[in-house]
Amino acid sequence: MLLEGGAIAEGATGRSGGFLSSSLTHGVANGISRFPAEMPLLERLGRQNFDRTVVGLGQLEIDCDLELSGDLAVALEPHEESWLAQEAEQLSDLGHDVALLDRGSVRAELDSPTYRAALWQRSGAGILDPAKLAWGLARAAESLGVRVHEGSRVSRLRKARGTIELWTAGGSLVAQQALCATGAFRSPLATVRRRIVPVWDYVLMTEPLTAAQRSALGWERRQGVSDSANRFHYYRLTAGDRILWGGYDAIYHYGNGMGAEREQREATFARLAQHFFRTFPQLEDIRFTHRWGGPIDTCSRFFAFYGLSHGGRVAYAAGHTGLGIGASRFGARVALDLLAGRETEATRSRLARTRPVPFPPEPLRWTVIQATRRALARADRRQGRRGPWLRLLDRLGLGYDS
Ligand SMILES: Cc1cc2nc3c(=O)[nH]c(=O)nc-3n(C[C@H](O)[C@H](O)[C@H](O)COP(=O)(O)OP(=O)(O)OC[C@H]3O[C@@H](n4cnc5c(N)ncnc54)[C@H](O)[C@@H]3O)c2cc1C
């Protein structure tokens, strides 16, 4: 039985950019900085998870416009070129199919006057329609006998006589086991609540491109694209040839603020539009038809953590932090294996056995997050040089490098 607090696809998944990645660690650099010795294993498990996602979508006949078109990470500043060169080496050492593109070659793929160079990752990366994915998965689960109850937020879990009681506003039920996958929303588990902050991320969507607009861009191979600063944009074509353009601002609201009133943010949309037209001046006449925001389930190591509570009857997978479309499938597998008491390569890994440092309570939480946001913006203005605050976080193993 699936108890869904809102409606299927209303959470982060359905609102996401739809970049499907094989990375379980929010990129190789982040993984190497935390689990260097384990990265070959984590990359292998991530590639396996990616491949099984692709095969599973076919077997379950979920049409979500999947395109295995790879990723382009573009450099807009000179110092980002050396970052991309380093990442290319790391990816290649871990068995990925990558190429470094100079200015001319990247502009032949996708034309922007802002590009200096790019890293093209051809393996383990694709794009899909994430709402169609969520709806398709729910339909597939129902066809296999799962009962889906929307509007059933679980407010409390309790161990009772060898079972688990789950409470919603409409009533309670008793289960042998439960798996909590509550994303950025308030978890019924205290151990998850301490480790997750919702960080709001925003997206614009253009009207469909005309044939002339498409040819002014190139983009024949339809890669998902992101730029490389700490505050970065991500963008992609949809199946209907619109451009989804998001990222840059990442907004934390005091007290883990959530709610529909946060889904629209004028200042961020204006900034995103300005950056869009700077990147693609050849699209000066295009209009944005949709705009929205959603909460990212952020934890202090920037990739997910897993565990058991309530005497082993409840499992959780949480904290995918901006790259959870592919990794949450892996998270579900780990959590189910933990519930079943099955030891696997994945459950034995340090990734599965360790958890991120919790965030401090408010008001310190807000202060620390705002200081980090300001420090990341400052580093972007100073050719990537990290100031004392970011260096301290790096030393404590809490640093973020996009
Ligand atoms: C704007 C945006 C863009 C993003 N872009 C990408 C991207 O391109 N690629 C990528 O990999 N990741 C991206 N992400 C991150 C990604 O969306 C998340 O990491 C991932 O979707 C998390 O999946 P999930 O199933 O854990 O959470 P969700 O998709 O948020 O699902 C959690 C569900 O649990 C329900 N729920 C919560 N609490 C309860 C409760 N107590 N009881 C019952 N139900 C509950 C919620 O209603 C929700 O439907 C993006 C996120 C945002 C917001």
List Cα–Cα distances, 268 to 74, 80, 289, 312, in angstroms: 22, 24, 16, 43
Instruction: Report whether 69 contacts 224 (CB < 8 A).
Output: yes
Query: β-pairing, 154-160 with 148-149?
Result: unpaired
- Answer yes or no: is the C-beta of 198 below 6 A from any ligand 1 atom: no
Please report the pLDDT score of residue 396 as a whole number: 82
Cis peptide before 208 (omega within 30 of 0): no
pLDDT at 400 over 80: no
Burial class (CB in 10 A: 0-12, 13-18, 19+), 283: middle
Please report the pLDDT score of residue 142 as a whole number: 98
Token pair for residue 299? Answer: 């934890």
pLDDT at 393 over 90: no
Residue type at position 370: Q
Please report the pLDDT score of residue 365 as a whole number: 94
pLDDT at 401 over 70: no
Residue type at position 193: R
**Cα 324 to middle of ligand 1, angstroms:** 7
Element (H, E) at 200: strand 197-206
**Cα 117 to middle of ligand 1, angstroms:** 32
Instruction: Report whether 332 contacts 230 (CB < 8 A).
Output: no
Instruction: Report whether 20 contacts 128 (CB < 8 A).
Output: yes
Arithmetic mean of pLDDT over the chain: 95
At 126, the pLDDT band (50, 70, 90 cuts) reads: very high
Q: Which of 320, 321, 329, 402 to mutate to test the pocket of ligand 1 (most atoms within 8 A of CB)?
A: 320
At 15, the pLDDT band (50, 70, 90 cuts) reads: very high
- Answer yes or no: is the C-beta of 12 below 6 A from any ligand 1 atom: yes
List Cα–Cα distances, 192 to 195, 281, 339, 379, in angstroms: 5, 44, 17, 30
**Cα 11 to middle of ligand 1, angstroms:** 5
**Cα 273 to middle of ligand 1, angstroms:** 25
* pLDDT-above-90 percentage for the chain: 91
SS3 for 178? strand
Residues 276-321: tens digit of each pLDDT: 999 999 999 999 999 999 999 999 999 999 999 999 999 999 999 9
**Cα 200 to middle of ligand 1, angstroms:** 11
pLDDT at 347 over 80: yes
Residue type at position 50: F
Please report the pLDDT score of residue 276 as a whole number: 98
**Cα 219 to middle of ligand 1, angstroms:** 28
Round the CA-based radius of gyration of the chain to a whole number and report it: 21
> Measured from the CA of 293, which atom of ligand 1 is nearest?
1
Phi, psi torsion values for 117, nearest 5 degrees = -170, 175
Q: How many Å apart are CA 223 and CA 371, to the nearest integer?
A: 34
- Answer yes or no: is the C-beta of 150 below 6 A from any ligand 1 atom: no
Query: β-pairing, 71-75 with 224-227?
Result: parallel
Q: How many Å apart are CA 50 and CA 402, to the nearest integer?
A: 21
Please report the pLDDT score of residue 81 as a whole number: 96
- Answer yes or no: is the C-beta of 183 below 6 A from any ligand 1 atom: yes
Token pair for residue 279? Answer: 């990147």
Q: How many Å apart are CA 382 and CA 164, to the nearest integer?
A: 53
Q: How many Å apart are CA 83 and CA 119, to the nearest integer?
A: 10
Instruction: Report whether 5 contacts 156 (CB < 8 A).
Output: no
Q: pTM for this one?
A: 0.96
Residues 223-264: tens digit of each pLDDT: 999 999 989 999 999 999 999 999 999 999 999 999 999 999
At 389, the pLDDT band (50, 70, 90 cuts) reads: confident
Residues 135-178: tens digit of each pLDDT: 999 999 999 999 999 999 999 999 998 999 999 999 999 999 99
